[in-house]
Amino acid sequence: MPRRSAAGADTPLNGVDPAKSDSKGITTCGDSSGPAPQEKIELRKKVTLLRGISIIVGTIIGAGIFISPKGILQNSGSVGMSLVIWCACGVLSLFGALSYAELGTCIKKSGGHYTYILEAFGPQVAFVRLWADLIAIRPAGLAVISLAFGRYILEPIFMPCGVPELAVKLATSLGITAVMYLNSMSVSWTARIQIFLTFSKLTAIALIVVPGMVQLFRGETQNFENAFRVDSVQLTGLPLAFYSGMYAYAGWFYLNFVTEEVENPERTVPLAICISMGIVTVCYVLTNVAYYTVMSAQELLSSDAVAVTFAEKLFGNFSVAVPLFVALSCFGSMNGCLFAFSRMFYVASREGHLPEILSMIHVRRHTPLPAVIVLYPLTILILFSGDIYSLLNFMSFMRWLFIGVAVVGLIYLRYTRPEMHRPFKVPLFIPAVFSFTCFFMVFLSLYSDPFNTGIGFAIALTGIPAYYIFIVFNKRPRWFHKLSDSINRSLQIIMEVVPAEY
């Protein structure tokens, strides 16, 4: 699709005229003192190994492990089988992460799923994925995580009473606004705060695991007796248990959304992914073991917030701190998610699939400001108006469908582009097993909930006509182009953004 830039407009942006950039990316100021060199306007490589680990760990570990890990226990039928599924889901997620490590080191572009599908299967399939993300998956997902943040940040204030829904939504709105502002202002500070929040999550998990292990060594093993009773295992529920487990591990792919900002991606991406998955798997398994040292399976299934129940049994009044840790954990997931998928919108705009303004960078802060804030109005609208959880259920299976398609793309590229440089290469059985798992979960969704899944599928399919209307059909009248350029130029001036320099 042909691109038109408003960067050559006569109006200077923040004193800097983008039209006066030379071919080396050096911009000059339009004042009387003559030309002065300026920094190159681009996204910088500020994601180190530690920051990469914090993005992955901080995004995967959200509220779920603290609130309600009972989905796996309920569908597996026994304590022992639930722990096996936690381990198995960690290994399967590692397979997916390793597949993405290969994709991220041979396709050194940001954008994650969208970029890999674009490279393997072309723009139409990639646009359908992008469309589903933009109109439903990302705003609904961000709203759900933010609602958990709003509820748990207020719980210590209102305890023992319930938190009013309006207060929850107002606190949620403040949380979303804070995350948007942070990501708009500085990549470095976003990464530093993500590191702090990740260590906060690991501290919260340590406060559960260490006392749990102490209880275990003291002989509190009664809840592990007959842990693998065959008669209690529900074979029909095992696929649903795996579905819940894979959802709990989701987030290992977010570093691939920011590949262009990773220092030495050929080394950093595989290392960060492998270290992160090891940390998360160990944390998840040990946390569940700790829960069972204090609670029986029946008590865990009846608890709405397992970590709170655990803390009340062991720590008494200190349990008031648990909701604060859960809130910090949710804030970390919000921050990591927004940092990652804003880059997908940035890359999609650069490819011509979204308005050009979304591929522009702030002239001083070097952040993709328009791509960061594009979801803000839609997320707030969904937060106050819709049934967020239903929308998320409609679209959750689409996540696994397109992740499976992206991993199949790895296998496809092995045969269609064998000459591609692959500094990190996995055995083919790894992407084969993982893509089969993804498609099995999609089939399971169609079988277990055909109505809601069908609605989600229909919403995603609206991306096909949208592709032809907005992308393929470009014979628009001249007045439309003038209006588009005028809006683009005005937004550039208001937000102080210019096209990135390469």
Contact 142, 176 (CB under 8 A): yes
Mean pLDDT value across residues 117-141: 90
So what's the pLDDT on residue 388? 65
Separation CA 243–CA 439 (nearest Å): 11
Task: At 421, list the tokens.
Answer: 């440089």
- Provide the 8-state DSSP code for 387: -
Inside any domain, residue 162: yes
Question: In this structure, which long-range contacts are made by residues 444-453, counting pairs with CB atoms below 8 Å and at least 24 apart in sequence?
Answer: 444/239, 444/240, 444/243, 445/243, 445/396, 445/397, 445/400, 446/397, 448/240, 449/393, 452/390, 452/393, 452/394, 453/394, 453/397
Indicate the helix (H) or strand (E) that contains 16.
strand 16-21
- How close are the terminal C-alpha atoms of the chain, in Å? 19
Inside any domain, residue 280: yes
- Provide the 8-state DSSP code for 262: B
Inside any domain, residue 350: yes
Inside any domain, residue 65: yes
Inside any domain, residue 293: yes
**Helices 306-315 and 265-294, packing angle to 10 deg:** 60
Separation CA 342–CA 331 (nearest Å): 16
Give DSSP secondary structure letters for 446-497: HHH-HHHHHHHHHHHHTHHHHHIIIII-----HHHHHHHHHHHHHHHHHHTE
Q: Could you tell me the CATH number of the domain that includes residue 68?
A: 1.20.1740.10
Interval 201-257: pLDDT, tens: 898 899 889 999 998 888 888 878 776 766 666 666 777 788 888 888 988 898 999
Separation CA 111–CA 434 (nearest Å): 20
Inside any domain, residue 86: yes
Interval 457-486: pLDDT, tens: 888 889 999 998 888 886 777 887 788 888
Task: At 347, list the tokens.
Answer: 């890359």
So what's the pLDDT on residue 18? 40
Interval 196-217: pLDDT, tens: 999 888 988 998 899 999 988 8
Inside any domain, residue 479: no
- ∠ CA 459-462-466 to the nearest 5 degrees? 145
Interval 78-114: pLDDT, tens: 888 889 989 999 999 999 999 999 999 999 888 889 9
Q: What percent of the chain has pLDDT over 70?
A: 86
pTM for this prediction = 0.83
Inside any domain, residue 90: yes
Beta bridge partners of 497: 362
* Domains contained in the chain, number: 1
Q: How far is CA 111 from CA 326, 349, 410, 468, in A?
A: 29, 11, 15, 22
Burial of 291 (0-12, 13-18, 19+ CB in 10 A): buried
So what's the pLDDT on residue 405? 93
Enclosing domain of residue 375 = 41-461
